[in-house]
Amino acid sequence: MPVLRGVTLALDRGESLALTGESGSGKSTLLHLVAGLDRADGGHILLDGEDVTGLDDRRRAALRRTKIGIVFQQFNLIPSLDVAANIAFQARLGGAVDKSRLDRLTVALGLEAHTRKYPEQLSGGQQQRVAIARTLAASPRLILADEPTGNLDEKTADEVMDQFLALVAETGAALLMVTHSPRLAGKLGRNIHLSQGRVA
Amino acid sequence: MTGATLAALASHWARNPLQFLTLVVGLALATALWSGVQAINSEARASYDAAAATLGEGQLDQLLPAAGETMPQDRFVALRRAGWLVSPIVEGRLRVGAVTLRLVGVEPLTAPGGTAASAAIAGRDLADFLGEGTLVAHPESAELLRAELSNPVISDASIAPGTAITDIAVAQRLLNRDGLVSRLVLALAQPIRQRPLAEVAPDLVLQRADGASDVGRLTDSFHLNLTAFGFLSFAVGIFIVHGAIGLAFEQRRGMVRTLRALGVPLDRLIVLMVLELVVLATLAGAIGIVLGYLVAAVLLPDVAATIRGLYGADVAGTLQIRPAWWLSGLAMAIGGALVAAAGALWRLSRMPILASAGGRAWAVASGRGRPLQGAAAIGLFALAVLLSLQGAGLVAGFGILACLFLGGALALPLCLALILKVGQSWSSGVLALWFWADSRQQLPGLSLALMALLLAMAANVGVSTMVSSFRLTFVGFLDQRLSAELYVDAAAVRDRVALERFLEARADEVLPILSVETELAGLPAELYGARVGATYRENWRFLEAAPDAWDQVAKGEAVIVNEQLSRRAGLRLGDSLAVAPGTTLPIAGIVGDYGNPIGQAIVAEALFRQAHPSVLPARFGLRTEDAETLRRALVEAFGLPSSSIIDQVAIKRFSLSVFERTFSVTGALNVLTLAVAAFSILMSLLTLAAMRLPQLAPVWAMGVTQRRLAWLEVLRTVLLALLTAVLAIPLGLLLAWVLLAVVNVEAFGWQLPMFLFPFEYAQLVLLTLVAAAAAASWPAWRLSRMEPASLLKVFAHER
Amino acid sequence: MNAKLRSLLLFFWLVGGGAALAQGFAGLGTDADGFAMPQPGYAFAFPQDHGAHPDFRIEWWYLTANLEGPDGTAYGLQWTLFRSGLKPGEAEGWGSPQVWFGHAAVTSATMHKAAERFGRGGTGQAGVTAAPFEAWIDDWRMAGDLLGSVQLSATGKDFAYDVTMRANGPFVFHGQDGYSVKSAAGQASHYYSQPFFEVEGTLTLPEGEVPVRGSAWLDREWSSQPLGENQSGWDWFSLSFASGDKLMGFRLRDETGGDFTSATWIEADGTATPYGDGALEATPLEVSRVAGRDVPTRWRVTLADRGLDVTVAALNSQAWMDLAVSYWEGSVVVSGSHDGRGYLEMTGYETP
């Protein structure tokens, strides 16, 4: 059974778009398709004018290393690496490490006291800040966020979200965020509601 | 309640078939190795015994003609009628085509038990044996005989190569010795009221049985060591089982908590779990025993014999499987499983009723216990050192082995963690960094499997070192002690002076062997007189010696002692030893002596003859270019029976062929233990695979392909295996050293020198890497082919 | 060769071959290929018939004695030489098809010692000559005049004996002039005895030498197929009564029921009266556990025609001959209508 049907949307540089919808409305699937983590049964996804739908695993993996950054709800840090290594991880995978940028992000997200710690030693908010720093450090053209603050309490969620949006705005990357919270969605430029796989 | 509880407990296995498989297969393999080694051991013993029996006519006294090679058959009848239970043997060389076989004719009705003859005719139809002229021979010789003779021929691997056994009537006919007998074997149990032999048979010479044969003493030591390694193999298996049980118990903590909350008493629960374990272990043990005997059957030359053994037939020289083996195998399996589960059960019994049910803690927990493990390892090593310094006896020797084994296993995760940390700090690329860091992360989950690998590898290094050292030593010892081409037993010759004159004229070098049983340094010992010449100088190897040891001995100014005497009397090089009343000499050399339980001292011939003028040489060693001519000349001139002239080449060849069989067996054992360890790695990886996903998915999401990740997984396993294998080499060498230098000395009074075999170790490491790569390849293949959906689940909100 | 195996192999020989093993002693009834058969009306000729009859399959010289030590201790003594032909006839040297084995035993109420010997004919290790009479295997021998004086000796690893026997009566022929029928189907053997030996000699036991005196009974029997197909074993009695009368009787057990009995009543002067099947009755009264099997060791034996109704009890219930071919053989005490002593042999009692 198709999860998404006839969804068309475009996102420009510097633009931010919130995808909202019920559980099972297909918003995560859309995100995964854009990230090249999953393959669509039909249709096209263009990134920087390039059609990524037909790319093989290798090319899509390369795309994820360089042009796309993902922030997960579960943070998904590498438990065996310390905070500093985690932040630098994706940037180093993509081969574009900017030491001053790493430092700046670390300070901006208030993580400078924790760089030698391991993920399991951090609070949820701190872990998500590390994940955000990891994504931004890689300088992606497109940032995908899947309920980035879904595992955090409301106060922390607001703090982290504000920091996140401010930093994204600085980079000029496009942001596509999935959330079920209308309040958070309101903080983004555009807003699309998905229902049963269609744009409502 | 019991039924419901059991059903709940058992449901775990249904949901986790892999764990069930690990447990049962692990235990089965452990039992298989243990029982396989036992079976192989007993087969090897049987081979040695057959060799000893065929070569030396076992442990029975014999009567030989005082002169000539044969005696008339009526000597046999006369002795029987005088109440002496003797059995006639006619022996000779039979030309069959291009080769010459040793043909032994026996009399089945009077042949005493425990001889080659009785073993050869056991199980045969005796009427055929008598009536049809059947011959029994080693398979190779049997081929020849079938081609050349019309007699029925039976193959029997328990007969020494080059030998055929038949009824005395047939042998007399084939050898052209009608009415003649070579020698008479005396039964062990003789009737009372016998007339003295000197009166009944003044023309015959009594040759006493050797007692424990030389080969027997040496091989006992070998078997003790092999048995020790049987235990080690079992320990490897128990490590696997320990891992499987630990995991299963941890994962069932939630269930245990729920069951207790629902009112099942803790003690009942533990009893049921023990019961469950016993059932599983019995099942696995039974499979293991069958596997073990299959292994033995495949490894041993005579598969049919194995099958015969399974049905309890008691046939000499073939593999015997008795109920005792089944029971001991099952006991090992059940005992092993309970030992492996003891820790988990203990923890369970101490668990508060509302404790967290977190199953994943298992992998992490063993990582947290690392400092404790390290401390325990250091403690065990210290204990091993203490035992080697202070301990005495076999128990201490085995204690050292156990401490080293356990300590080595416990220290492994620590050592690996250290190495991986260093690797991580040296790595530059981000993927390399992640690889090292992630390997460290994996360590707790894999460490039990890696410990099993360490022990398997160490055991193999130990076995290879021990077996190969043993072989080198034995070959060297044979070369040294059997340096002369022919040995002549002079006991059967009346005119020994004439014999000596004859030998001096014919042989290149004559080595009279003079010996007397005496007491040296307060201990029972043998004193030997040697004619020091080129043979001794060139062939004998000393453990320790003064530079001109033989010169000093030749001049009658020094004595040489064997290791046993040196150890037992605390004598060292240069110490003085009283060899005869009024004669005290310094010790100029100590020789290794691997075939002899008692002390020996060797002095110059002249000195010996002076001290013991009445002792005549009992044997002569002869150096000659043409052994066959000399042998014939001796037979013609003195009528010596062929059993009195020993051909050194034949003895060596036979001894070595017996060894070759054992070596092929230990080689196969190496492969098997490593296979068990590889199985353990495979199972650990499969178990870990599900837990690994959350760790791998983000890396994949950030742009590393599944293929790449899979390769890295294989690489990681191979790296860990390599590190483990390298760490296992010193441990294995240590084990071998303890066996050769500590256990042997305690058990047998001599130390076997240890040799190193780098090529064999390299082969073992390679084998280990292949095994590890094989174990890792399936989980890795699964990872590379995994649907992205499975990885995406990691990111799903509804986890 | 281990003892067990040896016993099996010898069993094959004893019964003359192949598949009879499962049938136990019943195997004695197999056909006699090439062997001579006992004939009724055979005229015994002595001394030749004291010697071996190699044309027949099996033969024995079977001596049992009831003795008494100086302190009144009762002893039993057995000396047996068996001959078993693999083929009929005799040859020189190892080529002889004759296999010999000897059994010797000494029994008292508290001990039972047995020994055995094996040998092949043709070499002189074992054999029998008729004139002068000598039967021997190894150092065991029975030699002399069977109507006069005979020397008897044997040794084992824990006993030995040397006795002199003096015959004070004639030979006794069983059945019809020595043609002794063993089954309703007509199987038979040639069978005579010398039951009138007086014995004097020495037993050598671990505790020392014991002078003994008493009486002995020699049986001579040869045949080629003495048992019927269904006969599983025999119970054989030789009893000497205080009255001077003697009784030889046997019961051949039949697997299908219906035992076959035979007896000879011997008066003090040697007058013998044969009794056919059914006259003698032998009924087990009590069994003992011997070597893992149940063996009758107390019997009621009756011969109505002679007013005989006695209880026959083993001197030592554990008189098991644990040899290659094993059986029960021991001294017995007789009480009831007649008192006396005797010997009992029982074969074919298998382990359950």
Can you give the CATH number for the domain in which A110 is found?
3.40.50.300
B528 lies in some domain: yes
Pair (B393, B322) in one structural domain: no
Enter the DSSP assignment of A38: S
Pair (B146, B263) in one structural domain: no
Per-residue pLDDT at C153 = 97
Pair (B587, B657) in one structural domain: no
**Is A71 in contact with A144 (CB distance < 8 Å)?**
yes
Q: Could you give the ipTM of this predicted complex?
A: 0.90
Enter the DSSP assignment of B752: P
| A90/B703 CB distance under 8 A | yes
Query: Looking at the 3D structure of chain C, how many domains does it have?
Result: 1
A5 lies in some domain: no
| Phi/psi-derived region of residue C326, left when phi > 0, alpha when psi is between -120 and 50, beta in every other case | beta
A4 lies in some domain: no
**Which residue did the predictor score with more confidence, B60 or C218?**
C218
C352 lies in some domain: no
Query: Looking at the 3D structure of chain A, how many domains does it have?
Result: 1
- Going by C-beta distance under 8 Å and a sequence separation of 6 or more, which residues neighbour residue B89? B57, B104, B105, B106, B107, B117, B168, B181, B182, B183, B184, B185
| B191/C5 CB distance under 8 A | no
- Going by C-beta distance under 8 Å and a sequence separation of 6 or more, which residues neighbour residue C58? C14, C16, C28, C82, C83, C84, C85, C222, C223, C224, C226
- Domain holding B289, by residue range, is 20-48+236-359
| Of the ranges A183-187, B483-487, C145-149, the best mean pLDDT one | C145-149
pLDDT band at B119 (very low <50, low <70, confident <90, very high): low
| Of the ranges A35-44, B322-331, B492-501, C162-171, the best mean pLDDT one | C162-171
pLDDT band at C230 (very low <50, low <70, confident <90, very high): confident
pLDDT band at A62 (very low <50, low <70, confident <90, very high): confident
Q: What percent of chain A has pLDDT over 90?
A: 20
C86 lies in some domain: yes
pLDDT of residue B798 exceeding 50: no
pLDDT band at B299 (very low <50, low <70, confident <90, very high): low
Pair (B748, B684) in one structural domain: yes
| B109/C115 CB distance under 8 A | no
Pair (B130, B268) in one structural domain: no
- Domain holding A165, by residue range, is 16-199
Which candidate in A28, A38, A74 is best for mutational testing of the B interface (most B CBs within 10 A)? A74
C351 lies in some domain: no
**Which residue did the predictor score with more confidence, B661 or B390?**
B390
Q: What is the tens place of the pLDDT at every residue in B512-522?
A: 888 887 788 87
C14 lies in some domain: yes
Nearest to B113 among C2, C12, C159 (CB): C2
Give the number of beta-carbon pairs within 8 Å between B and C: 80
Query: Looking at the 3D structure of chain B, how many domains does it have?
Result: 4
pLDDT band at A176 (very low <50, low <70, confident <90, very high): very high
| C123/B189 CB distance under 8 A | no
Pair (B666, B795) in one structural domain: yes
Q: How far apart are the first and last CA of chain B?
A: 34
Residue B240 token pair: 């696997």
Any B CB within 8 A of A118 CB: no
Pair (B632, B685) in one structural domain: no
Query: How buried is residue B395: exposed, middle or buried, by Cβ count under 10 Å (0-12/13-18/19+)?
Result: exposed
Q: Which residues of B touch C (CB under 8 A)?
A: 73-74, 76-77, 80-83, 85, 107-111, 113, 118, 121-123, 125-127, 130-131, 167-169, 172, 178-179, 189-193, 314
CA pair distance B564, B749, nearest whole angstrom? 6
CA pair distance B701, B269, nearest whole angstrom? 44
pLDDT band at B365 (very low <50, low <70, confident <90, very high): very low
Q: What is the tens place of the pLDDT at every residue in B579-607?
A: 888 888 999 999 887 656 678 899 998 88
| Of the ranges A91-105, B44-58, B438-452, C152-166, the best mean pLDDT one | C152-166
Q: C touches which chains (3+ CB pairs under 8 A)?
A: B
pLDDT of residue B223 exceeding 70: no
B14 lies in some domain: no
C242 lies in some domain: yes
Q: What is the DSSP string of B431-463?
A: HHHHHHHHHHHHHHHHHHHHHHHHHHHHHHHHH
pLDDT band at B651 (very low <50, low <70, confident <90, very high): low
Among B209, B227, B259, the domain-final residue is B209
Residue A85 token pair: 């290594």
Residue C155 token pair: 């040794």
Mean pLDDT of A82-95: 85
CA pair distance C227, B323, nearest whole angstrom? 40
CA pair distance C221, A6, nearest whole angstrom? 115
C64 lies in some domain: yes
Per-residue pLDDT at B305 = 36
**Nearest-Cα residue of chain A relative to residue B442:** A80
Average pLDDT, chain B: 78
Pair (B457, B492) in one structural domain: no
Pair (B196, B81) in one structural domain: yes
Nearest to C139 among B81, B108, B127 (CB): B81
C240 lies in some domain: yes
Per-residue pLDDT at C195 = 96
Q: Which residues of C touch B (CB under 8 A)?
A: 1-3, 5, 9, 12-13, 17, 86, 93-95, 99, 115, 118-120, 123-125, 136, 138-139, 155-160, 204
Identity of the residue numbered A76: N
Pair (B427, B295) in one structural domain: no
| B167/C94 CB distance under 8 A | yes
| Of the ranges B160-164, B570-574, C134-138, the best mean pLDDT one | C134-138
Residue C7 token pair: 């016993």
Any B CB within 8 A of A22 CB: no
| CATH code for the domain of C270 | 2.40.370.10
Q: What is the tens place of the pLDDT at every residue in B227-262?
A: 666 777 777 777 767 777 777 777 777 777 767 766
B218 lies in some domain: no
pLDDT band at B43 (very low <50, low <70, confident <90, very high): low
Q: What is the tens place of the pLDDT at every residue in B401-439?
A: 888 888 998 899 889 989 998 988 888 888 888 888 888
Pair (B454, B580) in one structural domain: no
Beta strand B559-562 pairing with B583-591: parallel
Per-residue pLDDT at B393 = 72
Residue B764 token pair: 């073992």
CA pair distance B3, B590, nearest whole angstrom? 71
Distance to chain B for C164, nearest Cα, Å: 18
B259 lies in some domain: yes
Touch between chain C and chain A: 3 or more Cβ pairs under 8 Å: no
Pair (B337, B437) in one structural domain: no
| B110/C118 CB distance under 8 A | yes
- Domain holding C23, by residue range, is 3-346
Give the number of beta-carbon pairs within 8 Å between A and B: 90
**Is B279 in contact with B260 (CB distance < 8 Å)?**
no
Per-residue pLDDT at C129 = 95
| B695/A78 CB distance under 8 A | yes
Among B625, B648, B671, the domain-final residue is B648
| A70/B702 CB distance under 8 A | yes
Among B594, B616, B648, the domain-final residue is B648
Per-residue pLDDT at C1 = 32
pLDDT band at B310 (very low <50, low <70, confident <90, very high): very low
**Which residue did the predictor score with more confidence, B221 or B711?**
B711
C94 lies in some domain: yes
Any A CB within 8 A of B365 CB: no
List the single range of B253-262, B461-470, C75-84 with lowest mean pLDDT: B253-262
Sign of CA dihedral C17, C19, C25, C26: negative
pTM to 2 decimal places: 0.57
**What are A43-48's contacts with CB under 8 Å, separation 24+?**
A47/A141, A47/A142, A48/A141
**Nearest-Cα residue of chain C relative to residue B132:** C95
Any A CB within 8 A of B351 CB: no
List the single range of B139-148, B412-421, C115-124, C196-205 with lowest mean pLDDT: B139-148
